Amino acid sequence: MNKVIICSWILIDEFKRVLLIKRKFNKKDLPNYWSFPWWKQEIWENNIETVAREVKEEVWLDFEITRLFIEEEWWNINNYFYRFLWNYSWEIKIQDEECDWYWWFFYQETEQLLIYQKIKDLLQKLYEENLIK
């Protein structure tokens, strides 16, 4: 079984809201779900190269990694997850093929959204660490 690395990025604005994207209805993984922007990493790339390419492709942001927020390993399915916190600049412009919409949410607002449980857990952790309101 090949190792799969999945990276996502967590953007938080000056009001302590988090950016979530709504995935297209026709996507294979989590259609119509709200999530952090994420991608599967190609085997020959390192995280920073993947991040640079995907951020530009999905929302056209300039960015700076502030820290690795969480790293998870799911041994039973050989997946590795990396969640990064970011600083950003410029206006967000989403990639139409990937997302239907994006929005900045306060933690309580996310409770009404269709969100995968792992993302809900991460949002709660962000809230508990006072990174989002």
Mean pLDDT score, 46-69: 62
Q: Which of 47-56, 59-68, 74-83, 121-130 reaches the highest mean pLDDT?
A: 121-130
CA torsion sign for 114, 20, 30, 120 is negative
Fold of 4-128: Nucleoside Triphosphate Pyrophosphohydrolase (3.90.79)
**Domain-by-domain residue ranges, the chain?**
4-128
Check whether 56 has a pLDDT greater than 80.
no
Distance CA 114, CA 47 (A): 28
Mean pLDDT, the chain, integer: 77
Q: Following DSSP, what letter does each residue of 93-124 receive, concatenated?
A: ---TTTEEEEEEE-HHHHTTS-B-HHHHHHHH
16-40 pLDDT, tens digit per residue, is 999 899 989 998 878 999 998 776 6
Alpha-carbon distances of 19 from 8, 22, 45, 66, 102, rounded to whole Å:
12, 10, 25, 16, 7
